[in-house]
Chain A
């Protein structure tokens, strides 16, 4: 997988281009002084002892109904997705 993916493909947004304004923000980061490029990013880590058990919650009838209603397309009782073409 050495295929180069442009931001419009990565973002699934047609014709998307990097923004000059946003690039201005990124330039500040590039120029910033950091002691090294390591980080200790565990601000929101959950301890192994604190993990909850896997529990299966059955959705209520009203919840199931709303999920079905939110589905964008339905035909003859089936929920329709778009055609998948393998490339």
Chain B
């Protein structure tokens, strides 16, 4: 370790605010984008199933209608 104490590590030779701000925002942005992509994939999967179920219902309703009109 380059620093003598944890105190020194946090203060970063007086540049603590800037160093931690950079690393904080950098990693936070990357993590948020990563999580957003993962959750978007999950949401899409369930959307696909909802849409599929809807299509099945529409088809069934159409068939029923066609059957009753005959």
Are A and B interaction partners? no
Q: Which residues of B contact A (CB under 8 A)?
A: none
